[in-house]
A and B are shown apart, each in its own frame.
Chain A
Amino acid sequence: MKRSAEEIRKAAESGDYLTQLSAHKSLRELLKEDSAASGLQPLRLAVLGSSTTAQLIPLLELHCFKEGLLAEIYESPFDQYQQEILDPSSRLYAFRPQAALLFVNYRDVRPGPTQVEAERWVSLWRTLSEKGRCFVIANNFDLPVERPAGSLEGGLDQGVGRLRRLNALLAERTGQGVALLDAEHLSAMLGKERWHDPRFWHHSRQAVSFEGLTRYAAEAAAMLRAALGRSRKCLVVDLDNVLWGGIVGEDGVAALELGDTPRGDAFLEFQRYLKALKQRGVLLAACSKNDEANAKEPFAKRPEMPLRLDDFSAFVANWEDKATNLRSIASSLNIGLDALVFVDDSAAECEIVRRFCPEVAVLQMPEDPAEYCRLLDSRRFFETVSISGEDASRAAHFEAEKSRRALESAAPDLKSFLRDLRMRATAEPFKEEDLGRIAQLINKTNQFNLTARRRNEAELRALIKDPSALTLSVRLQDRLGDYGLIAVCIGLKRGEEVEIDSWLMSCRALGRGVEQFTFTRLAQAAWEAGAKSLLGRYLPTPKNGMVRDLYPSLGFKREGERWRLELPAPPAEAFISDGSAIAAS
């Protein structure tokens, strides 16, 4: 049957198994036209199955197309996945896949200690990932319907109990180019009695029902899209009858359905789902035909709403058409239109966006708000399989900072707050490999910087060899994150005095007791070098007012332009005012 690309995508989204197979045939026809593949990202995909994959392959091609990928698939022979993975000269590796999908099921799990079995799978994944130099998607194990030991089995090291433990172990071992497709969840969503069809297993080793396979292919394709970095990034929502029931400009903010009725409760639930999306990194934007003041009013006057105005990275309420507004949202966020998902309850608005911004994924909300969360979730727009190192640390830093603030507000006082963070600081003399970071700190730090003396890497390198230089680079981590190298101190020994030539600290580490720690370590180093006193200088700059009184606060006595602290005895850790805050090592 001849179908347009749009019809094929629709069949992939909502058709049953036979419709999808038929759509796949249409896709094959469509792709014979040269232009059909334009705009699709080519993907060389290897599919390795322990069971029959004949039906899975066309479904994968179809769902990849739906996700904007043009899949060229290598189908490993039936149940040859282990041999192919282990043999470096296998056809699998000759194919040079960019991604490999390991389609296995609970029957492939071997007896023995669960930990050992988990290691066996992890080792297969790693081998595949390293030898194939490809992204690996492996599924976890779909628990069967039958439980010989009944509910008791959940607590036993057999049957579903063991599979659950195995799945938990496997989930901890993903990352570094391996993602776990949650087949267990897919099977539960569909219903295990529909996911598993023993007749087709006996007939031709079909491990998953065909209905189940369509779900599996959709999940795999969304993960592949994510692995190629093409996940959607931003959800643009309409406001009236999407975030709340009613029209704020007409009904007034007090009359909006929010929580007080069953329908209103569903709107709140949808807002909570959006909030969860936002918290895991999806950008939210609002796009509403409204006066801006009206559109913003509910955020100010309906405190029961989980979403606040600052949850939105872009907020557009005007009377322009939404296609224009989506373009301006995309450009203001510096992302492409193909990173947007647009959600609206109006068929007309959805149609306009489909027509004028075909790159945007459009989802029309159904009549009943109770369906909103599930519908949006089912489309897997924001699937992610891995986070790049930089993104991960940025996201992690962001989260850690939020947790720190949460702790700070919950903690009764600073001391217990610091103790709760379980900070760990280390100080060591400068090392060659740290010089880049040290130079960066020395040359960029303006606020916590006693002398603001700048040095380049070569000058710092010379200090390493200089026996009269006492150098310290300080690292800090706590249970929420790793700050890295955050403070630098340079002391120069002259006779029985050590003068603190430079002392600076990144503002990220302020208020953590690091200054005490650094000072103690320098004093110890000075004592060990035979010094009897420390000399400090504060050279004022327009920005370093915060350390004006640092030396007196540490017990130094003024001596003209300088500050002096006698070291009558070996400095103890007691120099740290809150000894419990930093575990030094």
Chain B
Amino acid sequence: MIMIRAIIRPEKSDEVLAALMYAGFPAVTKMDVYGRGKQRGMKVGEVIYDELPKELIFTVVREADKDLVIETIMKTARTGTKGAFGDGKIFVSQVEEVYTVSSGIREGEEMSAIALSAT
């Protein structure tokens, strides 16, 4: 399983969550974060804001779905036609084990495949 963490604009988060839902990835977690990027924050007049509010959304998906999720987030979180500074970053990391608390079982790649096709 793969964990995808995306730091996006707060105003884009509803749109991204809806897009993920339509793409078939309902399970996500989001949290408010503050940060800056390689532009060292934002300069407004004399003041430099280097703790810009962002939202971190993270989801854990099967390896095969990785590209689709990244593409979905990328498409919806981008502003303008070419994108702009501050649109965010996506980080991908490996998850070794996944457990569902309500059933207490460890989930594997094949388990979620069954859960998807069962209904």
To the question of whether A and B form a pair in one complex, the answer is: no
Binding site for B on A (CB under 8 A): none
